[in-house]
Amino acid sequence: MARNNLKAFDIIKEAFTIFAKNTNFIIFTSLISLPLFCFSLYFEASLQEFLLQNSSILLQAKDHETPEFHQLVDENSDFIVQYYYSYPESYGKSWSLPLDIVRKLSNDSLHKLLQLSFLYLVPFHLLELLTVLVIVDLASKIYREDKSLTFNNIFDIKTDGTRLWGILVTYGYVVFFSTCTLLGFLTLLITYSDIIRYFPYEYSDLFYYYMPFRSLDFDVFFHLVYGANFLLLLGIYLGWSAIWNLGLVISVLKGTYGAKALGSSAYLSLRSVQSGMILMLVFSIWGVGLRFPCLVYGCYKNWIWTVAQISLFCFGNALKWVSFVVYFDDCIKRIFGKKVDVEEG
């Protein structure tokens, strides 16, 4: 296969080829992923148990509905007038729903939530960074030099303090931006959902008025608008995530760190934004698809299912970073190949 201008699924195919043709790489990847695998067993089981035990609180938005009315019918008017008699205390204040959920958690559940947040933000990401450092370095040697990996190659990885600190700084940027962006988008969607849902209502001291297109027509309109905005924010998040991950690969391979690495990543991915978004979409679906059945059926109660889930998760994580090595190489060829063509023209 020609390695110029690869599509997203061609990139994933190249990543699979790196695994398939290098038994030593599979062994090294498994060994370096072992700490992350063991930690993920504990973290994932704890997370699933927490979510299932507190599902009634986390899903309390179902109770966040419209108020009840006594209806005064006037078929000839442009408005339907309803006398208001029941008004839920939280009605119209769902922008504070995340804070309300936290307040309703018991002390034990709140302590568990804080513990899980710390475990995810610190130990989990540090162990993932260890796997990224080794996998990206080794995968680059295999892909660019097109040769099999030997046992001595694993000792060729540069581990000087300056390089490790620079990679850690870049990874800190990636974790900070991805976490804040995801939380911000979720909050924006929740707030937007409530604004749109209650938009037709107008309140006075005695009456609630609502437009006749409420009910089915408005529900369809609401879901279309909400869905369009969700897809827009999802596309933005996937595009940014591709840039952040590519920036981390640049830090590992090129020695450019922090904001410079992310800036270089944004420049290199200009001509292959779609491929980066599709890559992130594929691996995001992989992660969510593995977690969703376990959240529904409670896989944490059966260690066999949890081990199977985490094994597939670690494989998907390794495949993602190998794919981004291939994606990085393809971005370089697109950018500098184009410059060469212009100069020659």
Q: How many helices (H) does the chain have, and how many strands (E)?
A: 11, 4
Is residue 168 domain-resident? yes
Is residue 191 domain-resident? yes
Is residue 269 domain-resident? yes
Is residue 199 domain-resident? yes
197/223 Cα distance (integer angstroms):
9
The structural domain count of the chain equals: 1
Q: List, for residues 133-157, the tens digit of each pLDDT value.
A: 999 988 998 887 766 776 666 666 7
Is residue 166 domain-resident? yes
47/179 Cα distance (integer angstroms):
17
Do 51 and 295 form a contact (C-beta atoms < 8 A)?
yes
CA dihedral sign, ordered 190, 192, 198, 202: positive
Would you call 182 helix, strand, or coil by DSSP? helix
Do 277 and 235 form a contact (C-beta atoms < 8 A)?
yes
The per-residue b/e assignment along 141-170, b for 16 or more CB within 10 angstroms, e otherwise, is bbbeeeeebeeebbeeeeeeeebeebbeeb
Q: List, for residues 227-257, the tens digit of each pLDDT value.
A: 788 899 899 999 999 999 999 999 999 988 9
Is residue 1 domain-resident? no
- Print the domain residue range for 168: 8-344
Show the tokens assigned to 211.
Answer: 């437009």
Is residue 3 domain-resident? no
**φ and ψ at residue 105, rounded to 5 degrees:** -70, 145
Of 153-157, 165-169, 203-207, 240-244, the least confident: 203-207
Is residue 2 domain-resident? no
What's the pLDDT score for residue 113?
82
pTM of the model: 0.79
